[in-house]
């Protein structure tokens, strides 16, 4: 992680003046995977891993951004009438400028240095942390008011339209609206959020499988297409359904014959996952950690067998975790095909858990997992000196 001083010094080296600082967190999702783009329920928390931006205004209409992670400085002209994606990291940055300008925001030129401690492509949402840090920076430079729900929507639009990843609202929303020491149960249709305190008897532990399979974004868009197909086929019999959010497990079972086996299983993951999220939020809020954990375990089985977004290494990591003492539940978190798992672990058992998972995972796969216990953070905002 770049410290405040390192970030300021880095900015001075590149741009020769003083910046102000912004931070936007990555996230872990406790439960509710791929439900966001089905208008359903999710329960993420913002992490202490974050993207930090050092920012200063420019007198012209140029946006210049340096990524410490990539080691590259790139420029974008805010007056470019037809900006095109370059199919690299800058799409996440300039896509946000395009989305903000498209929403009528009068942006101004800026110099920006971004540094991030969010591991890239590990399902902890480095992309949204980058987008949100840039969006917040640009609005601040332009002296515009910041509505964090609107900012989340515009960053999602950037990723959907400029990057070409049809992600739901989860990552950008929690990076904008995260709440200290809480997970947020979010209704992705109304964008209503319910803060759920993390019971002090438990910790959220994230373990990185250290694998990411390249099919992630193509498969993601395919899953989304399957959900849309299920809605199209079920709508004639179920009435005015707009998304799988509107379908109950019973409604799906009764009309199973209308769907291919694959489409049925994809839909079954979503409709059962939605119910699990709502129940898990109640269980966590009521201190029923065992029930919350059992739902996380069921969520993993559903992702593995019905939605088919897990992979061998992640299944191994989850199996190891679920069998250890003091573990309430464990599942893959994030888009899938690798990345991280999230476990709910008894506070007193966390140290032993981390050691045992690391050892057993290395024995099974030869891979060294990085593991950490997290404390949920606030969403995007100024970074204090
Ligand atoms: P995730 O969001 O799970 O980390 P994604 O595939 O959605 O994975 O996004 C990863 C991409 O986001 C990277 O390949 C890179 O293009 C971009 N990115 C994220 N963080 C940075 C950063 N600090 N600097 C430059 N690009 C970044
Ligand atoms: Mg991402």
The pLDDT of residue 71 is 97
The pLDDT of residue 14 is 97
Going by pLDDT thresholds of 50, 70 and 90, the confidence category of residue 212 is confident
Main-chain dihedrals φ then ψ at residue 146, nearest 5 degrees = -120, 115
Which residue's CA is the closest to the ligand 1 atom numbered 5? 121
Q: Is 175 in the pocket of ligand 1 (CB under 6 A)?
A: no
Contact 238, 249 (CB under 8 A): no
* CA pair distance 168, 224, nearest whole angstrom: 10
Q: Is 79 noted as a catalytic residue in this protein?
A: no
Which residue's CA is the closest to the ligand 1 atom numbered 2? 125
Ligand (nearest to CA of 215): 1
Q: Which long-range contacts (CB under 8 A, 24 or more apart) does 58-63 make?
A: 58/108, 58/109, 58/110, 58/111, 59/109, 60/109, 61/108, 61/109, 62/109, 63/93, 63/94, 63/97, 63/107, 63/109, 63/110, 63/112, 63/138
Averaged pLDDT, 292-309: 98
Q: Is 156 in the pocket of ligand 1 (CB under 6 A)?
A: no
Is the pLDDT score of 214 beyond 80?
no
Region class of 307: left (phi > 0), else alpha (psi between -120 and 50), else beta: alpha
Q: Is 123 in the pocket of ligand 1 (CB under 6 A)?
A: yes
Our mutation pick for probing the ligand 1 site, out of 127, 131, 334, 337, counting the most ligand atoms within 8 A of Cβ, is: 127
Q: Which atom from ligand 1 is nearest to the alpha carbon of 122?
A: 3
Q: Which atom from ligand 1 is nearest to the alpha carbon of 116?
A: 23
Which residue's CA is the closest to the ligand 1 atom numbered 16? 89
Q: How many helices (H) and strands (E) does the chain have?
A: 11, 13
Our mutation pick for probing the ligand 1 site, out of 92, 94, 158, 336, counting the most ligand atoms within 8 A of Cβ, is: 92
The H or E element spanning position 10 is helix 4-15
Ligand (nearest to CA of 90): 1
Q: Is 2 in the pocket of ligand 1 (CB under 6 A)?
A: no
Averaged pLDDT, 101-126: 96
Q: Is 69 in the pocket of ligand 1 (CB under 6 A)?
A: yes
Q: Is 172 in the pocket of ligand 1 (CB under 6 A)?
A: no
Averaged pLDDT, 146-151: 98
The pLDDT of residue 213 is 78
Contact 13, 68 (CB under 8 A): no
Strand 110-116 and strand 62-67: the pairing is parallel
Q: Identify the burial level of 310 via C-beta atoms within 10 angstroms of its C-beta, where 0-12 means exposed, 13-18 middle and 19 or more buried.
A: buried
Which residue's CA is the closest to the ligand 1 atom numbered 23? 116
Q: Is 67 in the pocket of ligand 1 (CB under 6 A)?
A: yes
* CA pair distance 33, 134, nearest whole angstrom: 26
Angle of the 289-302 helix axis to the 261-285 helix axis, nearest 10: 170
Is the pLDDT score of 216 beyond 90?
no
Question: Ligand 2 centre from 184 Cα, in Å?
Answer: 19
Which residue's CA is the closest to the ligand 1 atom numbered 18? 127
Q: What pLDDT, in 10s, does the model give residues 307-348?
A: 999 999 999 999 999 999 999 999 999 999 999 999 999 999
Question: Ligand 1 centre from 121 Cα, in Å?
Answer: 6
The pLDDT of residue 384 is 86
Average pLDDT, the chain: 97
Spell out a b/e string for 296-307, using b for 16 or more CB atoms within 10 Å of the CB, else e.
bbbbbebbbebb
- Sequence-distant (6+) residues with CB within 8 A of 35 are 41, 42, 168, 188, 245, 270, 273, 274, 277
Q: Is 158 in the pocket of ligand 1 (CB under 6 A)?
A: no
Is the pLDDT score of 290 beyond 90?
yes
Look up residue 60 and give its two tokens: 């012209």
Q: Is 90 in the pocket of ligand 1 (CB under 6 A)?
A: no
Question: Ligand 2 centre from 10 Cα, in Å?
Answer: 26
The H or E element spanning position 115 is strand 110-116
The pLDDT of residue 15 is 97
Among residues 39, 91, 111, 171, the one annotated as catalytic is 171
* CA pair distance 242, 257, nearest whole angstrom: 20
Question: Does pTM top 0.75 for this prediction?
Answer: yes
The pLDDT of residue 240 is 86
Is the pLDDT score of 215 beyond 80?
no
Angle of the 148-157 helix axis to the 90-102 helix axis, nearest 10: 120
Q: How many CA atoms lie within 13 A of 212 on its CB side?
A: 16
Q: Delineate the domains of the chain, giving CATH numbers in brackets.
A: 4-195 (3.30.230.10)
Is the pLDDT score of 169 beyond 70?
yes
Q: What pLDDT, in 10s, does the model give residues 224-262?
A: 999 999 999 999 999 889 999 999 999 999 999 999 999
The pLDDT of residue 347 is 97
Q: What pLDDT, in 10s, does the model give residues 61-105?
A: 999 999 999 999 999 999 999 999 999 999 999 999 999 999 999
Is the pLDDT score of 40 beyond 70?
yes
* CA pair distance 50, 320, nearest whole angstrom: 28
Is the pLDDT score of 217 beyond 80?
no
């Amino acid at each position: 992680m770049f410290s405040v001083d390192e970030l300021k010094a880095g900015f001075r080296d590149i741009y020769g003046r003083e910046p102000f600082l912004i931070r936007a967190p990555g996230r872990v999702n406790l439960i509710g995977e791929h439900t966001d783009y089905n208008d359903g329920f999710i329960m993420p928390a913002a992490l202490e891993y974050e993207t930090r931006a050092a920012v200063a205004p420019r007198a012209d209409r140029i946006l210049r951004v340096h990524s410490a992670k990539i080691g590259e400085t790139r420029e974008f002209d805010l007056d470019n009438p037809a900006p095109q994606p370059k199919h690299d990291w800058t799409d996440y940055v300039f896509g946000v400028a395009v989305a903000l300008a498209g929403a009528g925001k009068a942006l101004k030129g800026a110099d920006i240095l971004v540094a991030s401690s969010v591991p890239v492509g590990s399902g902890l949402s480095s992309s949204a942390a980058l987008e949100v840090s840039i969006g917040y920076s640009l609005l601040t430079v332009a002296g515009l008011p910041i509505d964090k729900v609107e900012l989340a929507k515009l960053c999602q639009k950037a990723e959907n339209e400029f990057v070409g990843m049809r992600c739901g609202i989860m990552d950008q929303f929690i990076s904008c609206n995260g709440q200290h020491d809480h997970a947020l149960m979010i209704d992705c249709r109304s964008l209503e959020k319910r803060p759920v305190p993390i019971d002090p008897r438990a910790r959220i532990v994230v373990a990185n499988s250290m694998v990411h399979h390249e099919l992630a974004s193509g498969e993601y868009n395919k899953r989304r297409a399957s959900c849309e197909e299920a809605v199209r086929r079920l709508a004639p019999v179920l009435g005015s359904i707009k998304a799988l959010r509107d379908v109950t497990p019973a409604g799906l079972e009764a009309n199973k014959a209308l769907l291919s086996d694959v489409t049925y299983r994809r839909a079954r993951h979503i409709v059962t996952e939605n119910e699990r999220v709502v129940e898990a939020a109640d269980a966590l809020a009521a201190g029923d950690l065992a029930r919350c954990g059992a739902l996380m375990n069921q969520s993993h089985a559903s992702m593995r067998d019905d939605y088919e977004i897990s992979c061998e290494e992640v299944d191994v990591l989850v199996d190891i975790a679920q069998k250890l003492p003091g573990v309430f539940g464990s599942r893959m978190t994030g888009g899938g095909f690798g990345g991280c798992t999230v476990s709910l672990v008894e506070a007193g058992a966390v140290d032993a858990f981390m050691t045992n998972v690391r050892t057993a995972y290395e024995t099974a796969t030869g891979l060294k997992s990085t593991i950490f216990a997290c404390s949920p953070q606030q969403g995007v905002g100024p970074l204090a000196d």
